[in-house]
Amino acid sequence: DAGVTQSPTHLIKTRGQQVTLRCSPKSGHDTVSWYQQALGQGPQFIFQYYEEEERQRGNFPDRFSGHQYPNYSSELNVNALLLGDSALYLCASSLFEGRGTQYFGPGTRLLVL
């Protein structure tokens, strides 16, 4: 049983560019949450998707957007990249019903130059 998968594993971009990160949830899960983890910090909640809708959003600008597909996979898009967007981006999947435990993927490490 595959766990949460994310792609790509690493990415290098320059300021002003746009990036798309992808996540496939654990089998049986229907909810995907995205987190940003800067070096030496705890993960910060970006948003959560369920039934292809954004359900909750953290304190992130509109440059951060997402999407969830009918197969529950999800994308995180970041526009107009800033140096400060360099971080590990973590996807977590869970069951919406019963507020199940969130299981994290391996992450995508983004470096903005």
Q: Nearest approach, Cβ of 5 to another protein (angstroms)? A: 11
State which residue, 17 or 96, has the beta carbon closest to another protein: 96
Contact 108, 12 (CB under 8 A): no
Q: Which C-beta is closer to another protein: that of 13 or that of 58? A: 58
Nearest CA to 22 out of 90, 83, 88 is that of 90
Q: Which is nearer to another protein, 73 or 106 (CB)?
A: 106
Select 68 or 78, whichever has its Cβ closest to another protein.
68
Phi, psi at residue 74, to the nearest 5°? -145, 155
| Contacts for 11 with CB less than 8 Å, ≥ 6 apart | 19, 21, 108, 109, 110, 111
- The distance of closest approach from Cβ of residue 36 to another protein in the complex, given in angstroms and rounded to an integer, is 11
Binding residues for another protein (CB under 8 A): 31, 33, 35, 41-45, 48, 50, 55-56, 58, 90, 92, 94, 96, 99, 101-107
